[in-house]
Amino acid sequence: MEARRQELLNQGYEEVYTRTKVLTDAVMHYCPGCGHGTTHRLIAEVIDEMGIQDNVVGVSPVGCSVLAYNYFDVDFQEAAHGRAPAVATAIKRLNPDTYVFTYQGDGDLAAIGTAETIHAANRGENMTMIFVNNGIYGMTGGQMAPTTLVGMKSATTPYGRRVELNGYPLRMTELLSTLPGTYYVTRQSVQNPAAVRKAKAAIRKAFENQKLKKGLSFVEILSNCNSGWKMTPVAANKWMEDNMMPNYPIGDIKVDGKIVDGIDANRLVLDHALTVMQ
Amino acid sequence: MTEEIIIAGFGGQGVLSMGKILAYSGVMQDKEVSWMPSYGPEMRGGTANVSVIISDERISSPIINQFDTAIILNQQSLDKFENSVKPGGLLIYDPNGITHEPTRKDINIYKIAATAKAQELGISKVFNMVVLGGFLKLKPIVDKQYIHEGLEHSLPQRHWNLIPQNEEAIEIGKGLIEAVQTL
Amino acid sequence: MARELQLMKGNEAIARAMIASGCDGYFGYPITPQSEVMETLMTEKPWETTGMTVLQAESEVASINMVYGGAATGKKVATSSSSPGISLMQEGLTYLAGAEIPCLVVNVMRGGPGLGTIQPSQSDYFQSTKGGGHGDYQLYTLAPASVQEMYDFVFDAWDIAFKYRNPVLILSDGAIGQCMEKLYTRDYVPRWTEEERRANAPWGTWGKPATRPHNIITSLELDSARQEVFNLKLQKKYAEMKEKEVRFEALNCDDAEYIIVAYGSSSRIAMKAMQMAREKGIKVGLFRLITLFPFPTKQLAEVAKRVKGILCVEMSAGQMIEDVRLATECGVKTEHFGRFGGIIPTPGEVLEALENKIIK
């Protein structure tokens, strides 16, 4: 790939956009239009820009991003389903000067791994957790996730999620912001360039915070799952803005250990009215 | 020499620590030892017992059901362990609270009124050492100097000032023990 | 700390050996009858002396995954638990084996099934040696029978774990864990320096220098052909352990007409039964397993050729006996005697069982 690049440059092509060196040459298996690819790139850019490629360990989950370790050119561990925060806890405790991050989806982080997530946050583990929320189980074929919206159809809620049967969508990010162990808690998205720029700044901050040793930095990234939602990528992004975002509002919730001014306290106590799909 | 001992009584009577001091003294004298407690819910109040083995040879089982010596500090333990003393073995008991005296005819039986004596002297905290003294009078399996070292190792350093009191209690016990039945 | 004579509980010995053997991290969750392991570590505060990390996790599930994370950075990491907690760890153990991560796991067994009892038992033999989790994997399994062995086997465990890149299990039980015995401590082995860590664990995820490709720790391989090759590699490793790392102790087996096979605390009881039998003029030997995996198949078969019968003693309904019968190809009368549910058999009961089930 590098040879081809040189060849093109020699032919006089101008390079306007290139793969960051912290990503490998491996071809990503993600569906076109999915937010995972963009999120991977943002993390890789941050690692590159911070100059920490030789001092970072990532932990990948079970779910769509199970193979994340093939895409990042940094040392990586693949955790059992839901256990990434526990795995990362020990990496960081035993290597306190190494940058450690987890990368998990909603099923991994907010269902099977809820205990590990909450306790890592509550211990104030000095690491970065990236949480990609697309409201569905992508890899296993579109089943209900803890974050699936009320009324939203999935393979296991073919008539739409019902509160009586399945309870409410779980807002892990708001929940974690209430714990004293979290230092930075934010929700971002990657559906357009403006959102991507903000998401990258959030990821950068979440990594930079590890130098401060003041607790967990947690970044939720809202993403579409166009395959699971059975939409085109463009329609999926629109649907995400119309339906996901009212339930999962974008923006910082906690910065430098303090809940952000203007965050409605009601939002943190899970206002049920918000959870009904538009 | 192998001496297999059970010490049994109420939790809080210092049963386990008496065993530990004895075992540690054995270690200091370069004997082989084992200390095997009963544990679990029964330890929280109720009865407590510990098997201590001191030997010149490698100890096989730390878990045993026949003893050379039973040191008994309450009625339940007497009921439970009287029949576990090997024929010709030794049973020592504190008569405090004992309503049914031991009945075996094939063992040596001694009593030591340690509870009463310790109360009388205001040394209830080292009651268990009075009992240990009685046992050591009959079976001097560890030497005095090693008992001292055993106490040093068993007690945290901040309690080393209590060692003389413990040793005194052992001496009191030696004078207190009396034969009920000897073969 | 230098070599020193002490009186110590088995569980405490495990903890002190971890510190003394240069362990980098311990992650655990309280459960009877092994809670003294973490209690001792927390009291000793090794992070102030050797620099060892000790953390109480939120569950055994988290503990074993912390072991995964920490050990996969090429450090010496351990956990301990008792039977129900070890059941929870089975997922983590198969991942550890599948990702070839060296580590130490201690099981101080109690009676089951289910919540069972907190009293000693040996009913986790199958779980330990036949794969408690999914997939074809083995844990190198050491069965200490004394407090001294509880201590020494921690040191041995690191050697095996890193030599084979495989988890090591110390399978003990509540009797040895709670028992106090004489113990010779050893000189401290310093924790590895950064250079030693990198040399001893070149596969570790300790940060990718420009000089090597990124290290990946995973047990996932979606390509079946490659997964088969990987499994063959594991099997080769286990075969090498069977060849080179078998440990056992044969006592009075040379002139024995009958032998007792046992491990851990049962072997102590069996030793007493053997002595009692010899006093009665019955020529009994004791074949004590030290490694449960690899099982001393050849060595036991050799001894079995010379005897009239074998009594297997285990605090279970009869698990180890299956491997004994396989080793001897059922060529000699072999019976099981055990108590379970937390009841410890007495030496007298063992002798009686030998007389009734084997000699008669």
Q: Which residue has the tokens 């929700």?
A: A187
- For helices C60-71 and A84-94, give the axis angle rounded to 10 degrees: 50
Helices (DSSP H) in C179-263: which residue ranges?
194-200, 224-244
The residues, any chain, with a CB within 8 Å of residue C251's CB and separated by 6 or more, are C271, C274, C285, C286, C287, C288
Chain C contact for A93, CB < 8 A?
yes
Indicate if C179 and C271 belong to the same structural domain.
Answer: no
Nearest to C95 among A24, A75, A80 (CB): A80
CATH class of A2-275: alpha beta
Q: Could you state, in order of their start, the residue ranges of all structural domains in chain A?
A: 2-275
Indicate if C260 and C189 belong to the same structural domain.
Answer: no
* Cα separation, A30 vs A230, whole angstroms: 15
CA diameter of chain B: 46
Residue A112 CA from chain centroid, whole number:
16
> Does the beta-carbon distance from C271 to B34 stay under 8 Å?
no
Q: Which residue has the tokens 């008539």?
A: A159
Query: Which positions in chain B have a beta carbon within 8 angstroms of at least one beta carbon in chain C?
Result: 20, 23-24, 27, 32-37, 39-41, 59-66, 153
**Has this prediction a pTM greater than 0.95?**
no
Instruction: With residue B61 as reference, give the H or E element that holds it.
Output: none
> Does the beta-carbon distance from B23 to C180 stay under 8 Å?
yes
- Are B92 and B71 spatial neighbours (Cβ–Cβ below 8 Å)? yes
Specify the amino acid at residue C1.
Answer: M
Mean pLDDT throughout A35-46? Answer: 97
pLDDT tens digit sequence for A215-258: 999 999 999 999 999 999 999 999 999 999 999 999 999 999 99
- For helices C36-44 and C10-20, give the axis angle rounded to 10 degrees: 40
Residue C211 counted as domain residue: no
pLDDT tens digit sequence for A159-198: 999 999 999 999 999 999 999 999 999 999 999 999 999 9
Residue C278 CA from chain centroid, whole number:
30
Range of the domain at C152: 5-196
Specify the amino acid at residue A233.
Answer: P
Residue C237 counted as domain residue: no
Indicate if C131 and C62 belong to the same structural domain.
Answer: yes
CATH assignment at residue C295: 3.40.50.920
Instruction: Name which of B18, B48, B51, B43 is nearest C265 in CA terms.
Output: B51
Cα–Cα distance list, C183 to B25, B61, B154, C44, C179 (Å) = 14, 16, 15, 18, 12
- Are B67 and B4 spatial neighbours (Cβ–Cβ below 8 Å)? yes
Instruction: Name which of C13, C185, C216 is nearest C106 in CA terms.
Output: C13
Indicate if C54 and C145 belong to the same structural domain.
Answer: yes
What A27-30 contacts at long range (C-beta under 8 Å, 24+ apart), as own/partner pairs, is A28/A71, A29/A67, A30/A64
What's the gap in Å between the CA of C68 and the closest CA on chain B?
32
Instruction: Name which of C36, C23, C32 is nearest C67 in CA terms.
Output: C23
* Cα separation, A130 vs A108, whole angstroms: 12
N-terminal to C-terminal alpha carbon distance within chain B: 21
* CB neighbourhood size of B103 (10 A): 8
What's the gap in Å between the CA of C250 and the closest CA on chain B?
14
* Cα separation, A256 vs A183, whole angstroms: 5
Token couple for B26: 């054995």
Give the strand pairing for A99-105 and B32-37. unpaired
Question: Any idea what DSSP says for residue B105?
Answer: S
Q: Which residue has the higher pLDDT, B43 or A80?
A: A80
* Residue C39 CB-density burial (10 A; 0-12 exposed, 13-18 middle, 19+ buried): middle
CATH code of B2-106+141-166, in short, is: 3.40.920.10
Residue C42 counted as domain residue: yes
* CB neighbourhood size of A198 (10 A): 17
A124: left (phi over 0), alpha (psi -120 to 50) or beta: left
Residue A101 CA from chain centroid, whole number:
11
Chain C contact for A261, CB < 8 A?
no
Instruction: With residue B109 as reference, give the H or E element that holds it.
Output: strand B108-111
Binned at pLDDT 50, 70 and 90, residue A276 comes out as low
Mean pLDDT throughout A129-152? Answer: 95
Is residue A269 over pLDDT 80? no
What's the gap in Å between the CA of B16 and the closest CA on chain C?
11
Chain B contact for C348, CB < 8 A?
yes
- Are C121 and C341 spatial neighbours (Cβ–Cβ below 8 Å)? yes
Full pLDDT tens readout for chain C, 360 residues: 557 889 999 999 999 999 999 999 999 999 999 999 999 999 999 999 999 999 999 999 999 999 999 999 999 999 999 999 999 999 999 999 999 999 999 999 999 999 998 889 999 999 999 979 999 999 999 999 999 999 999 999 999 999 999 999 999 999 999 999 999 999 999 999 999 999 999 999 999 999 999 999 999 999 999 999 999 999 999 999 999 999 999 999 999 999 999 999 999 999 999 999 999 999 999 999 999 999 999 999 999 999 999 999 999 999 999 999 999 999 999 999 999 888 889 999 999 999 999 998
The residues, any chain, with a CB within 8 Å of residue A251's CB and separated by 6 or more, are A186, A187, A260
Is residue A268 over pLDDT 80? no
Full pLDDT tens readout for chain B, 183 residues: 999 999 999 878 899 999 999 999 999 999 999 999 885 554 455 678 999 999 999 999 998 889 999 999 999 999 999 999 999 999 999 999 999 999 999 999 999 999 999 999 999 889 999 999 999 999 999 999 999 999 999 888 999 999 999 999 999 999 999 999 998
Give the strand pairing for A128-133 and A99-105. parallel
Partners of chain B (3+ Cβ pairs below 8 A): C
Last residue within a domain, chosen from C165, C196, C227: C196
Nearest residue of B to residue C184, measured between CA atoms:
B27
Q: In A68-86, which positions are buried (b, 16+ CB within 10 angstroms) versus exposed (e)?
A: bbbbbbbbbbbbbbbbbbb
What B115-120 contacts at long range (C-beta under 8 Å, 24+ apart), as own/partner pairs, is B117/B172, B117/B176, B118/B169
- Are C237 and C117 spatial neighbours (Cβ–Cβ below 8 Å)? no
Report how many domains make up chain C: 2
